[in-house]
Amino acid sequence: IQTTEVKEQKKSYIHQERSFVSAEVGSSVTLQCSYGTEAARYYWYKQSLGQKLQIISISYKFAESGTFHDEFKDNPRFTVENIDGKSQLSISDLKPSDTGTYFCASGISFVFEFGEGATVSVKNPVLENTAWVRQSESGAVQTGSSVTLNCTVQTGSCGGEHSVYWFRHSGESHPGLIYTHRGNNNECEKSQNTQTHTCMYDLPIKNLSKSHAGTYYCAVASCGQVLFGNGTKLDLESEAVSLSLVYFLSAALIFTVILSVLLAFTLHKMHKRNCCQTSEKLIPGVFCYQVHQDAGDLHYAAVNANQLSRSRRHRKSSECVYSAMTQ
């Protein structure tokens, strides 16, 4: 009796595009998510920076809306609409506390699957007057080299207590937390007139590879708010590709030089042959010859001689001399 194991390929019951949304206070955002036909329940979650997941709502497959939980319950700013296997989470009148990553999820039997997540950053104009984040410029770096990303932050006027986070966003993964700095007085300078602190943080990355490519965001959590920088994009250039291009261009240059030499030699040889075919087309002052390796080793030579003559009609004359050598 032979038994055959068939491994079913894992099916995805949910699709949520990776995204990073920057919005102003008081504006609105709508987050999209689509579900497979097998999904029985739809979920929305929120994860604030450095916090655990919070459930927002639960919807059943054929329900047009959802049931909200905890702090989102009876909050008119949050609405969920389900249509034809798609779910939309809308947040109106945005507040700085709405900053975070929002995940949609699906449930079927004992299988629970999350989407990629959408990060929403709400800019607070009040906080931006006292707090800001500046990052190093984007640029291209070589594979295998090292780079240090810089982040300069100014905290809000709330005693200088803050935390700094580094995120990376690439086309292959959603924005993810990669490193956390805790406030350190050794890295900060306090302003004399205000309670704000200016701090500098570095993120060293060694032995760069393709997996390091992406946009790195520095964020500061201060005074109960989160402020993101504009991001530093790292483009990885492969050294092997550059060397291959150099080799290819060098080979093309060498080939061009050799081809030019061969063409020049061929043209010169053709000119000598044509020189001896007729004595009427000889160039004055040029001695040309042609050798044919026949059975009798017959040699042809044409000599162009300029002769002075008193008559204007015969200023120049040419003679073609033929000689044969026998063994």
Domains for the chain: give ranges and CATH numbers.
14-123 (2.60.40.10), 125-236 (2.60.40.10)
pLDDT on residue 128: 57
* pTM of the predicted protein model: 0.52
Taking only the tens place, the pLDDT of each residue in 37-75 is 777 788 999 998 778 899 999 988 788 888 999 899 989
Helix (H, G, I), strand (E, B) or coil at 88: strand
Q: Hunting for tokens 């009040």 — which residue is that?
A: 126
β-pairing, 188-190 vs 197-205, is antiparallel
Taking only the tens place, the pLDDT of each residue in 167-199 is 888 766 656 778 887 655 557 777 666 667 788
| High-pLDDT (> 90) share of the chain, % | 13
Q: Hunting for tokens 């997996």 — which residue is that?
A: 211
Burial track 267-282 (b if 16+ CB lie within 10 A, e otherwise): eeeeeeeebbeeeeeb
Taking only the tens place, the pLDDT of each residue in 208-266 is 888 888 889 888 877 667 788 888 888 877 655 556 677 788 888 998 999 888 888 88
Q: Rounded CA gap, 53 and 203, in Å? A: 27
**Band of pLDDT at residue 326, cut at 50, 70 and 90:** very low
pLDDT on residue 36: 79
Of 75, 115, 123, 76, nearest to 99 (Cα)? 123
Of 63, 57, 7, 12, nearest to 38 (Cα)? 12
DSSP state of 204: E
More confident residue, 206 or 157: 206
The Cβ of residue 75 has, within 10 Å, a number of other Cβ atoms equal to: 12
Taking only the tens place, the pLDDT of each residue in 15-47 is 888 788 888 889 999 999 988 777 778 899 999
